[in-house]
């Protein structure tokens, strides 16, 4: 879920971005930086959700929402304000807002509202998918699904599943990066992690954070396997290929309570090892 923030207070923008990123509530695709919001710029960022401050000096939130709705009625608009006037709140809902977040910003409220917005978006996508399924004409010459690219993606997913990472949000990001590097024939060591992410998304920092969390989870899973059975097939296969074995050993010590810190995550090491393993399958 892509989120754009329109707010004239930089400190509020920072608070919202921290909450969204730290609690995996979505991907920040842009913010107005405290300046007057630009409707065209917001739409170019392709947001699913726009968080809008109600009381802004040049253009109020209700006016902005009204302009966004004229161009894209599917965007979810969430108003942020400490306004308690029923008339002003009614004005905001009349303009087309979907949800309301009160100031001062409350963590639980932000989490609840954004999760509700995400669920609403998913429900609408599912409904549209069902409609398209019944309205689309039957294709007699449909292309086969198993292209080489899809086969490679299956191999990547199989490996990620073996180390218990398939449920992590960063997995799809990892697969996209691997597919991009393979397609463009780019060596992992010739490009930075930031450049990898920039080639895939407009929000590289958020992507990098998701990937780092996913790899950390995978390392923890592999470390647990090694503690339970040092000869475990998955542990033997991936503890020194997807990760640095020294870092896996540090993670094992952390789990046992013998170390005060986790093993370090190397995104480039993991992606390089993952691609090598996929090539061997």
Write out pLDDT tens, residues 227-246: 988 888 889 989 999 999 99
Q: Is residue 218 part of a domain?
A: yes
Say yes or no to pLDDT of 61 above 70: yes
Is there a single domain that holds both residue 152 and residue 117?
A: no
Say yes or no to pLDDT of 274 above 60: yes
* Per-residue confidence (pLDDT) for residue 146, from 0 to 100: 46
Q: Please report, for the domain that includes residue 64, its CATH number.
A: 3.40.50.2300
* Per-residue confidence (pLDDT) for residue 145, from 0 to 100: 41
* Per-residue confidence (pLDDT) for residue 143, from 0 to 100: 47
Tell me the pLDDT of the chain averaged across its residues.
87
Is there a single domain that holds both residue 111 and residue 168?
A: no
* Per-residue confidence (pLDDT) for residue 148, from 0 to 100: 56
Is there a single domain that holds both residue 6 and residue 102?
A: yes
47, 28 in Cβ contact below 8 A? no
Is there a single domain that holds both residue 153 and residue 118?
A: no
Residue 252, classed as helix, strand or coil, is helix
Is there a single domain that holds both residue 62 and residue 164?
A: no
Domain with 177, as residue range(s), is 148-280
47, 39 in Cβ contact below 8 A? no
Pick the range with the lowest mean pLDDT from 29-33, 125-129, 157-161, 273-277.
125-129
Residue 133 vs residue 7, higher pLDDT: 7
32, 5 in Cβ contact below 8 A? yes
Say yes or no to pLDDT of 109 above 80: yes
In this prediction, residues 276-280 reach a mean pLDDT of: 89
- Prediction pTM value: 0.51
* Per-residue confidence (pLDDT) for residue 105, from 0 to 100: 92
In this prediction, residues 118-139 reach a mean pLDDT of: 70
Read off the tokens for 131.
């409609």
Pick the range with the lowest mean pLDDT from 47-56, 119-128, 135-144.
135-144
Distance CA 201, CA 199 (A): 6
Instruction: Provide the percentage of residues in the chain whose pLDDT is more than 70.
Output: 93
| Partner residues linked to 224 by β-bridges | none
Domain count, the chain: 2
Q: Is residue 131 part of a domain?
A: no
């Amino acid at each position: 879920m892509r989120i754009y923030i329109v707010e004239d207070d930089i400190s509020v923008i920072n608070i919202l971005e921290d909450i969204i990123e730290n609690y995996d509530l979505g991907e920040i695709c842009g913010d107005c930086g405290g300046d007057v919001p630009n409707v065209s710029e917001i739409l170019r960022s392709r947001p699913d959700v726009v968080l809008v401050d109600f009381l802004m000096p040049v253009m109020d939130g209700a006016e902005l929402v009204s302009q966004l709705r004229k161009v894209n009625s599917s965007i979810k608009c969430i108003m942020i304000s400490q306004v308690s006037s029923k008339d002003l709140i009614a004005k905001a809902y009349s303009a087309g807002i979907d949800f309301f977040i009160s100031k001062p910003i409350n963590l639980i409220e932000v989490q609840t509202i954004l999760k509700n917005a995400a669920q609403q978006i998913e429900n609408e996508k599912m409904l549209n998918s069902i409609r398209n399924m019944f309205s689309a004409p039957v294709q007699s010459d449909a292309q086969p699904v198993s292209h080489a690219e899809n086969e490679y993606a299956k191999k990547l997913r199989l490996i990620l599943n073996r180390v218990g990472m398939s449920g992590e949000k960063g997995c799809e990001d990892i697969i996209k990066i691997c597919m991009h590097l393979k397609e463009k024939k780019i060596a992992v060591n010739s490009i930075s992690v930031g450049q990898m992410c920039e080639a895939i998304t407009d929000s590289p920092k958020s992507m990098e954070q998701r990937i780092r969390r996913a790899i950390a989870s995978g390392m923890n899973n592999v470390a647990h396997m090694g503690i339970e059975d040092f000869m475990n097939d998955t542990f033997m296969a991936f503890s020194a290929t997807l990760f640095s074995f020294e870092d896996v050993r540090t993670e094992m010590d952390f789990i046992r309570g013998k170390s005060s810190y986790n093993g370090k995550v190397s995104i480039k090491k993991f992606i390089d090892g993952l691609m090598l393993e996929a090539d061997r399958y």
